[in-house]
Amino acid sequence: MPPKAKFSKTEIIEAATEIVRKDGMEALTSRALGMQLGSSARPIFTVFQNMDEVSQAVVDFARKLYKEYVEKGLTQEHPFKGVGMQYILFSVNEPKLFQLLFMTEQRQVPKLSGILPLIEESYEEILLSIQGEYGIDRLLAEKLYYHLWIYTHGIATLCATKMCCFTGPEIGSMVTEVFTGILKKLKE
């Protein structure tokens, strides 16, 4: 009979996530996790096969949390702007989780046209919100989305790395100005 688990899967994931939130993914080791749990590392491995599984569970948790931000953005008066603002807010509130999801070196470098579908689970829903609100076809919606993602990613990266901070109104104004200019240019 396998040994009884001292900690639940949820408790281990929560402890691992706290380590990553504080010090980044590179700080997540079995020893650090055991210390966070107030135990040795041994009980972790009655629930998980190895630390790769624990790391993947943290990534999955971060994705789920980020998706909640996106869903909130999609309920705003202007869903596309709402998503961009939530993307930046996620970087401010969860800088290490943002870095984990959106600033980790990729094994293969995707083309720009492939990055958003790869990293954004709600890609299609966001595209449809752009097409619906601004009355543009899919191609123009994709161009607009890519341009604004690059811009909001820049702001989010500055926030996540504590290089710069902005107020909510400053971010809203900057995003609106860039959005308006790009949309005007695309509609010419």
pLDDT digits (tens, 9 = 90+) for 125-173: 999 999 999 999 999 999 999 999 999 999 999 999 999 999 999 999 9
DSSP 77: S
Q: Which CATH class is domain 63-187?
A: mainly alpha
8 Å CB contact between 72 and 42: no
The pair of three-digit structure tokens given for residue 86, joined into one six-digit string = 């939530």
pLDDT digits (tens, 9 = 90+) for 53-99: 999 999 999 999 999 999 999 999 999 999 999 999 999 999 999 99
- Can you give the pTM of this predicted structure? 0.91
- Indicate where the chain has its CATH 1.10.357 domain(s): 63-187
- Indicate where the chain has its CATH 1.10.10 domain(s): 9-48
Write the single-letter amino acid at 7.
F
Alpha-carbon separation of residue 119 from 67, 143, 168 (angstroms) = 11, 17, 24
Write the single-letter amino acid at 59.
V
Kindly report the backbone phi and psi dihedral angles of residue 64, in degrees, each rounded to the nearest multiple of 5, phi listed first.
Answer: -65, -45
The pair of three-digit structure tokens given for residue 108, joined into one six-digit string = 């293969």
Instruction: Specify the fold of 9-48.
Output: Arc Repressor Mutant, subunit A (1.10.10)
Q: Which residue has the higher pLDDT, 156 or 187?
A: 156
